[in-house]
Chain A
């Protein structure tokens, strides 16, 4: 599988990473090398082999659906980033997080 610049830009968009032309070109070069390494897998016959997602054969633990954690909203909101666009205020208000307007 060979990638081109358009693929890199599409992947960067999917990953929500802004990328300029120069970065895209450098990334294409490096990613092609890594994908070449990954291609070695295709030579292996894996017909009928059960995929292994976890090293131990365990199932998800369940618990009662009850509150187990104290509400620590203030602690967590204290580390909110600065709002940006010229403001150093923490990006919170009335217990909510502030982001740019998405609905007109």
Chain B
């Protein structure tokens, strides 16, 4: 059961081969067995979880089930879920019980899905290794000495270790795709604005986007059907017509299902900085795509390297503004001792935030401070346009762009923890799509020295359905996405 697709789980429930309560128990047993080691979940509440499973069984019995009804999911702890501890991986919110549901949570609830628990993450989603979490690091299920990636590291490990049927994540600079690459599963960051940010704790509002983390493209398509949609409570939610992201999957049975597809290969993504073994796995995946009928064309995204400096101006600037709400007055951490109001603010924030969050707040404060705005923030926004224009030019020559998701496989815990710049370079291939607002995906493409390697797919705006088709076609002829660590079987 643990290695089944969402479609198979849904069929098992519909045929009454298993109840939602039994399916939920299976995953909770695995969580009990492995979570003390892996640390993927930071909040569990069996009473709430089983109440949802029982309600799902009743709904299935009454004949009103939808495709995800009764299936147990893990939710990244960045999403407010009413009555659940919602910490965003921070001491600042360690005791915060959300008084309302995020849009994503209510969409899963309405679909009748079961919430298994809240997953660990880098503090306020700031990190690429899950090591900045107040609740401790997460182990990569493929090698416990290594990180799962981040910031959605808990969701990533939960999917890879089969501690859930699938999970949600968020991606501001690569936080769904990089962990998907490092843990060997399929993750999708949708077009900015496709999934509502309501109730999703803000990091960098012009970049944050929620998406599915699952075994396969088909699973991601089924989840995106539930997650996507206009929501007036998010001022940047896009009024895009509802789509069925699974609509093209069934028709990919021909010998060359991708005949005519033009894949753009950005030369900057295969240059210095890419691990040679990772490059070879990515190249082999692209060769597989040629067998499926696709053509490749070399393209250039000349401003790729600038995406990191631009991101480390824009994201901290937005973060320093967003995180100013944590002042110890209405919710969150308040210092135990203080002399006056200013002291209360400064102590509460100093105690509540971890080192990386403080660093980003300080960078953001610096680049937005009087006299520096034009040199940093405005300049970064101008280069952001150049980066977005690179993609506009590229998509005149190709339908989809492919390359590596991350420059290396999973690194050892502690290896980059003390070197922020080295950590930031993990996201060199993923940040540009966030800046441009484009959809990006990572799919398992093989292994290097026993560790998973991801292939990144980047599409044009609202081209998620085609990206999912292209990923699915590959997953029909390969089984990398079905592999799981032997010791966890």
- Bound-state CA distance A15–B382 (Å) is 26
With contacts A18-B347, A34-B363, A54-B206 known, is A100 near B382, CB below 8 A? no
Say whether B11 faces chain A, with CB atoms less than 8 Å apart.
no
Shortest Cβ gap from B331 to chain A (Å): 5
A19-44 CB contact bits vs B (8 Å, 1 = yes)? 10000000100110111111111101
Whether A52 touches B381, Cβ cut-off 8 Å, given contacts A41-B313, A100-B344, is yes
Residue-wise, chain B 96-113 has the 8 Å CB interface mask toward A (1 for contact) of: 110100000000000000
- Contacts A37-B308, A81-B333; is A17 near B386 (CB within 8 Å)? no
CA distance A82 to B369 in the complex (A): 33
- Chain A: which residue is nearest B419 at the CB level? A33
Residues of A within 8 A of B324 (CB): 16
> Is there contact, CB below 8 Å, between B420 and A44?
no
Asked if B350 contacts A19 (CB within 8 A), the reply is yes
Q: Judging by beta carbons under 8 Å apart, are A37 and B312 in contact? A: yes
A67 interface residue, CB < 8 Å from B?
no
Query: Contact between A52 and B309 (Cβ–Cβ < 8 Å)?
Result: no
Chain A residues whose CB sits within 8 angstroms of the CB of B388 once the complex forms = 52, 55
Mark contacts of B316-338 with chain A using CB atoms, 8 A cut-off: 1 yes-contact digit, 0 otherwise. Answer: 00001000100111111111111
Number of interface residues of B (CB under 8 A): 74
B421 touches A33 (CB 8 A): yes
CB atoms of A37 and B361 under 8 A apart: no
B309 contacts A18, C-beta separation under 8 Å: no
State which of A7, A33, A58 has its C-beta within 8 Å of the C-beta of B238: A58
A66 to B380, CA, bound (A): 38
Interface membership of B48, Cβ < 8 A? no
Q: Is B340 an interface residue (CB 8 A)?
A: yes
Asked if B346 and A16 sit within 8 Å, CB to CB, the answer is yes
Q: Does B252 contact A (CB under 8 A)?
A: no
Chain B 214-265 interface residues, beta-carbon cutoff 8 Å to A: 232, 235-236, 238
Distance from A62 Cβ to chain B, minimum over Cβ atoms (Å) = 10
A-B pairs with CB below 8 Å: how many? 179
Please tell me if the beta carbons of A11 and B369 are within 8 angstroms of each other in the complex. Answer: yes
State the Cβ distance, B94 to closest chain A Cβ, in Å: 11
Contact partners of B309 in chain A: CB under 8 A: 37-41
Min C-beta distance of B176 to chain A, whole Å: 17
B400-432 to A contact mask, C-beta < 8 Å, 1/0? 000000000000000000011100100000000
Q: Out of B192, B382, B420, B435, which one reaches A34, CB within 8 Å? A: B420
- In the bound complex, do residue A18 and residue B349 qualify as a contact, i.e. CB atoms below 8 Å apart? yes
A95 at the interface (CB under 8 A from B): no
| CA distance in complex: A67, B421 (Å) | 47
Known pairs A60-B235, A79-B96; A17 contacts B336 (CB<8 A): no
A53 interface residue (CB < 8 Å to B): yes
Known: A34-B421, A38-B313, A44-B306. A11 touches B365 (CB 8 A): yes
- Which residues of chain B come closer than 8 Å to A5, judged between CB atoms? none
Closest to B337 in A: A85
What distance in Å separates the Cβ of A84 from its nearest Cβ neighbour in chain B? 5
* Residue B134 interfacial (CB < 8 Å): no
21 A-B residue contacts at CB 8 Å? Answer: A15-B365, A16-B342, A18-B347, A27-B362, A34-B424, A37-B421, A38-B363, A38-B376, A41-B310, A41-B380, A42-B375, A46-B379, A52-B381, A54-B206, A56-B192, A56-B437, A61-B232, A79-B97, A79-B99, A81-B332, A99-B329
Apart from A31-B359, A40-B306, what are 16 other A-B pairs with CB-CB below 8 Å? A18-B347, A34-B359, A34-B421, A38-B376, A44-B306, A46-B379, A49-B382, A49-B383, A51-B384, A51-B385, A52-B384, A79-B97, A81-B331, A91-B334, A97-B330, A100-B341
The 5 A-B pairs of least Cβ separation, nearest first, read A55-B437, A51-B381, A81-B334, A18-B350, A46-B382
